[in-house]
Structure 1
């Protein structure tokens, strides 16, 4: 399947806005008014004389509100990333380019975007210029999660994960299917699938950073890639510092040095992320049917006893008690 059809050919999205049926002389102003009503604080400029069109469709899967936007050639300046989605100040926008071409500018970095590319824009001033027939899907994802794994967003805004990357191709295919099957998922399954999708986006950006980031930042990128690999492989009980070093292509000694420069130890980081993932699942009603041992194994622990011992040392309470308290407070 070609990149420009990877998500655009599904029909599970619901219309939100369209200029279809409007007189050509009114369509651009109507689009401008819609964005103004959302307090988006944008400066829109036409870049050709063709009849203007815009269309927005949406699909919600778990915590992800996915938008598919089609529009004519347009220069959009974000003076301040506003409330296109109210209450999303702690989020950044991730988008897959589906058709047409675009250029993005943010944090002093400019990129030309082609069909299939994945890119990130944060809620800071920036410019996005689209060609005629441009289409993309976008979603807001938590800034805190991206920065925990990849570092400050200034490192990768307007740094597209190219369509030909294996990780980007996988992420694109995943979202194609997620949009298609999303309406049939249970709430718990939708939340889990949305979380997997965010992890795939992170992995794609991490891979592109490793290819293009300036050499002085190489150590930072290696650590970020290592952390992204840990996130994607928490369930692997054999994941340890040597295996992690091999996965990111550096010696174990070098990886240990890079983590220590940041006041961290590799094994401590792996166990901490496993414990945090387990705590999140213990508090998730969607996992309440899983025995503690099964849940622990799914987070990379070899035995329930080992898990219980480490969990209590970290959180001050046994896993069973933690689950009970979390589920009671959520009622």
Structure 2
């Protein structure tokens, strides 16, 4: 993700004013912001563009933002915004409905209608932003559900800890934690998957699964399969048959699902296991762990086979890769950390 604003890098007397300017001039749906203590305000936004879908990780001190009818008349991009709360409490009000969002909750609202967002306080001793969350912004026309039905769910807290809600919040958590740079085609595909997941979550709460287009059901099944594979990568019994059985589909259906991604089930598992090995070999905290032990943990019990597969995938033998990425070859950051250490991209 790319940092678009971080008031912590500005002089204290410029922080809140810079946040005001950004929220009113730079965002696609401008908002006014007020704050009880401008001098202590901190705010930051990191963002990534996924085709027509915009995703941002937002942290801010206690404040209040609002979008009025006049502002809508001046600029109405007709967007939906989905807020995923990570820390703190947020109150979102729209059309006489009010949602108090707790950590892991999801709240949908529309830029074409006046609304108000108020962030609350958390423990002062945390020394971090009062609230932290993820915001997804996408054109309303991308949502393949009845607008009248969707209105029933705006400014309503939706759970994100279990079921399809957990799939969506898990996807957003991994996406915003990743440092990977996506190409145009990858970004568009990720944006499509994200809208499909949002559609499925909303349809679930509307009890309208039959109204969801078949491609959306397919994307949801694929996300479930990906999540299952990630959870069982260390299981030597992981196979197309066990994956299909866990999702109540035939192996033929499973293989067809992966064909839509120009991949195979076995190939995906193989690639993900190699990526986990690559991550562990570059992790300074695992520098003393034998290479064969890392390989065996991730499903490569035969050392020679692992060496050939790893070299084919990354252009270096495992031992050479670890040597090139050992900690003392990196320049440490100001915080004394190795850039990128400990980060695993599961997308």
Q: Same fold (TM over 0.5)?
A: yes
Q: Which residue of 2 aligns with 1:20?
A: 8
Q: Which residue of 2 aligns with 1:129?
A: 118
The 5 Å alignment of 1:39-188 reads: 40-47=29-36, 51-80=40-69, 89-123=77-111, 124-132=113-121, 133-146=130-143, 148=145, 151-179=148-176, 183-188=180-185
Q: 2:38, 2:219 → 1: CA distance? A: 54
Any gaps of 5 or more consecutive residues in structure 1? 1-12, 210-220, 237-286, 291-331
Residues 196 and 219 in structure 2, CA contact (< 8 A), matched pair in contact too: no
Residues 41 and 80 in structure 1, CA contact (< 8 A), matched pair in contact too: no
RMSD (CA atoms): 3.3
The 5 Å alignment of 1:26-41 reads: 26-38=14-26, 40-41=29-30
Any gaps of 5 or more consecutive residues in structure 2? 122-129, 221-259, 264-347
Q: CA deviation at 1:117?
A: 1.1
Aligned residue for 1:163, secondary structure, equals coil
Q: 2:144, 2:262 → 1: CA distance? A: 32
TM-score relative to the length of structure 1: 0.55
Aligned residue for 1:20, secondary structure, equals helix
Alignment length, in residue pairs?
Answer: 213
Residues 119 and 158 in structure 1, CA contact (< 8 A), matched pair in contact too: yes
Q: 1:50 to 1:167 in 2, by over 3 A?
A: farther
Q: 1:53 to 1:288 in 2, by over 3 A?
A: closer
Q: 1:62, 1:69 → 2: CA distance? A: 20
Q: Which residue of 2 aligns with 1:248?
A: none
Aligned residue for 1:157, secondary structure, equals coil
Q: 1:148 to 1:108 in 2, by over 3 A?
A: same
Residues 144 and 213 in structure 2, CA contact (< 8 A), matched pair in contact too: no
Aligned residue for 1:203, secondary structure, equals helix
Aligned residue for 1:232, secondary structure, equals helix
Q: In terms of mean alpha carbon deviation, does 172-181 or 58-67 score higher?
A: 172-181
Q: 1:43 to 1:198 in 2, by over 3 A?
A: same
Q: Does 1:201 align with 2:198?
A: yes
Aligned residue for 2:188, secondary structure, equals helix
Q: CA deviation at 1:14?
A: 1.4
Aligned residue for 1:167, secondary structure, equals helix
